[in-house]
Structure formats: C-alpha cells, structure tokens
Structure 1
Amino acid sequence: MDAIAISRTGLDVEWRRMEIIALNLANMNSARAADGTGFQPLTLLSGPAGNFGTVLEGQHAPAGVRAYGVEPSGAGIRRVYEPGHPQADANGYVSYPNVSHAGEMALMVKTARAYEANLVALAAAQQIYSSALQIGKQA
C-alpha cells in the first residue's frame, strides 16, 4: 500500500470519528423516554488495518488504519432535577446521556489535528511522487 492510500485510510477514520463526536454532542441534552430508551453515547473503535507484528517483521507493507465499529461508550446516564419537564420521573428527575461536553470537545480538537496531519502526509506523498515523475522524465 502506498503512502497516499495509507493517508487516505487515516482521513476516513478521523472523518468517521468526527461524525460520532458530532452525534454525541447533538444528543447530549436528549431526554430519555420513561421506559429508559434513548440516545447512548457512542465511541469509534479503530486500529491498524493489518497485523502490525507482520509489518514490524517486514513480511507485509503497512496497510493503514480502519474503523472496526461503533459501540456505546458505556458512559451511562446523568440525572437532572427538573420536576416541570414532561419526561421527569416520579421524583422529578430527567435522565440524559452522560456526555462530557469538555471531553467531546477535546476529542474533537485531537481528531481535527490527526485529520490535518493526514492531509499534510497526503500532500507530501503527492509532492514526492510528482518529483519522482519529473526526475523520470529528465532521464
């Protein structure tokens, strides 16, 4: 796999992570229904696309990264005392997804930086390949 394809896999994973962060932030104030159903905060599981051990041993070329799936984060719920809310329970509490706004924003910045790093790597690879083609034309 070449450098452009590897950077592309990184871009795809970080874009998907950004979508999950946006979904979590958009639903952080969505109250749960009386039966307990509602939005569950999500997390993206990602990692190497191939076996990293074989890459280190020189048996295979790097294959980039991939998203393995999206799972509930297990953050639970947060209960807020709002007795006038239509979805409040008998004690006046409303259940919301336990999404940390600060945590999601920090992850968003980290994800944006990783995305930018992949863009820079992609541009560098394109420039190197273009230079190699120019050298090849001169020979």
Structure 2
Amino acid sequence: PLLTASSFDSLCGKETPVCLIGAFRSSKAREKVESILSKVSQKSLSRSSSSPSSDSKDPISYVVLDATQEQAFLDAFDRSGFKSSDNFVLAYKPRRGKYATYTGDLNIEAVERFISSVLSGDVQFRKTRQKPKFK
C-alpha cells in the first residue's frame, strides 16, 4: 500500500515493529519497488519459526512511498544516503525512532538480505532527526 498521512498510523504506527518503506521517484521506479516488495512480503522472513497456526502479526509492514511527493516525510531521515537514488528501501522502527537504509541495486535477493539483517540486528540503525511527518 502507498504510505500517506492518512495511512501512516495504521501502516507504520507504534504497533508496527518494523516498517519497510520502498521509496520511488518515478513511475518506472514505483513499479520495480512495488514488484520487489510484493514478492518479498509473500515469503516469511520473520525470525521466529512460528507455527502456521499462530496468528501473530507479521513483524514487518511493507509500504511504498512517493519520494517526490513526500519530501517532508523523508526530512526526518538523514537523506545524504539516498538523495539521488531513484528508488531505495528504508527500514523504520517507529517505537524506537530509528531507521536503516538500503540504497544498493534493488532486486529481490538484495532486499531479502537487507530485511534479514534488519531482523537479526546485523544492520546499523540510526536515530531519526525527528518523528517522520507529512505536510
């Protein structure tokens, strides 16, 4: 789903352990980001080997963000890492106010590796400058 001011709390609010935001700056980039996140979200990459019967909420919420429209939202993060990227992935932990970015070549394997490192704690998270907000 597309992340907007009205959907932020339900998709990436305090109840969400990790919000994975695929950001794009063009329609071509949007298609790529949506396709990758859709495929990755189908697979279960959660840490716990929970049984299929357990109805625990997925630890990750997958959303897409229009980086050209939501510049104010991205101001909460240090944009130096992705200022010029046409598409990138941001892992945001709402409760802790921390984030990590992946700006490498976007493909399913790379995004899966990034998510795995986010879940296992192998990736360095940085504090957001402020709480992300929409204009």
TM-score tier after normalising by the smaller chain length: under 0.3
Q: Which has the larger radius of gyration?
A: 1
